[in-house]
Amino acid sequence: AEKKEPVAVELIQAEAKVMPLFEPVTGTVQPRHQATVSADTSGRILEFKVTRGQKVKKGDVIARIDAAELEASQMRAEATLKHAESELTRQKTLLDNEVSSAAKYERAEVEARIAQANLAQIRASLAKTLVLAPFSGTVTRKLVDSGDLASPGRAMVEMEDSSALRLEIPVAESLAGHLKEGQKIKVQIDAANLTTMCPVAELAPSADPSSRTFLVKIDLPKSNTIKSGSFGRAWIASGKSKLILVPASSVVMRGQMEVVFIKCEGVARLRLVRTVRHDNHQRAVLSGISEGDQIIVNPDASLRDGSPLTTK
């Protein structure tokens, strides 16, 4: 038989390293700030100033509630206070001139304070007829309209601040124990083509009784491409394992199978392996080769099981 020419190869020795294991978990992008806005008083809605999708700033007027009765009450209260203060001034003058008693002055002083408190209360009620945006954000739902009756607790709009987003993920108890607030973990948002390290913002102190999972909230970087409601992944360390790392270029595909060539007694030997990506340059071998094996880097396409070898 014709003697095969040795194939010149580059070798690297397989070394096992203790590596952290990461488990992928999935969740949904949510705004850090979201709220259902309702009125603090009752009355007919005279004007509704926002629409769904509208951006508002903190303090912007969302709706104006009929304040006619309160405005009339304010006018009466202002007149009452003016009269009370005038009487208090008169009693002070009389008291200074020893024409009136201290008791009458004190009574006038009490009446003035009551009038002031009454006016302050009415003004506070008037302020509540303007429903204001609690923070800067976007109106996501409009639940009432002009002419409807507003009342405390009745939802008027739903808002969210999309400029600050979080990835919210339900995590099994076995994984939640590996997390702490402030810890940075790898996050991927496919729709935004984003992969980055992000800090854990919140860990639920107790599990959801129905799913037995802990809600984990991860702060995302500011980005115009990340949208509320998007799907996201995170990788949580679940322990450590001894893994063999090999150059990514040493793993080749034969059909649907991953293979690695090793040098054994001067010839190439094909080994079926299972690997996972470690980084851009290395793959972690889960099975198929052993520590100390001589791995062939960048195997030639013509290399076959049993090919004689020589080193470069």
The per-residue pLDDT for range 207-244, each reduced to its tens digit, is 999 999 999 999 999 888 898 899 999 999 888 888 88
Is the pLDDT at 129 greater than 80? The verdict is yes
Beta strands in the chain (DSSP E): 7-13, 15-38, 43-48, 55-56, 61-65, 130-132, 137-142, 149-150, 155-172, 184-189, 194-203, 213-219, 231-247, 251-254, 257-264, 267-277, 282-287, 294-297, 309-311
- DSSP at 222: P
d(CA 135, CA 154): 19
Find where tokens 């903190």 sit: 58
User: β-strands 294-297, 309-311: how paired?
Assistant: unpaired
Helices (H), 39-97: 68-96
Residue 77: how many other CB atoms lie within 10 Å: 20
Collapsing DSSP states into helix, strand and coil, what is residue 298? coil
CA 47 to chain centre: 33
Is the pLDDT at 16 greater than 90? The verdict is no
For 297, how many CA atoms within 13 A lie in the half-sphere containing its CB?
Answer: 14
- Among the listed residues 250, 298, 241, the one whose alpha carbon sits nearest the alpha carbon of residue 273: 250
Q: Which amino acid is at 120?
A: A
Burial of 50 (0-12, 13-18, 19+ CB in 10 A): buried
Is the pLDDT at 2 greater than 80? The verdict is no
Hey, what domains does the chain have and what are their CATH numbers? 7-19+241-311 (2.40.420.20), 22-33+163-239 (2.40.30.170), 36-63+132-159 (2.40.50.100), 68-127 (1.10.287.470)
Is the pLDDT at 68 greater than 90? The verdict is no
pLDDT at 194: 92
Is the pLDDT at 154 greater than 60? The verdict is yes
Q: Is this model's pTM higher than 0.95 or not?
A: no
- DSSP at 169: E
**Confidence class for position 44, pLDDT limits 50, 70, 90:** very high
- DSSP at 46: E
pLDDT tens digits, one per residue of 274-310? 988 777 788 888 889 999 999 999 998 888 999 998 8
Tokens of 155: 């939802």
Find where tokens 């259902």 sit: 36
Is the pLDDT at 251 greater than 90? The verdict is yes
d(CA 22, CA 10): 31
pLDDT tens digits, one per residue of 193-214? 999 999 999 999 999 999 999 9
Burial of 192 (0-12, 13-18, 19+ CB in 10 A): middle
CA 81 to chain centre: 51
Tokens of 205: 């102190």
pLDDT at 282: 86
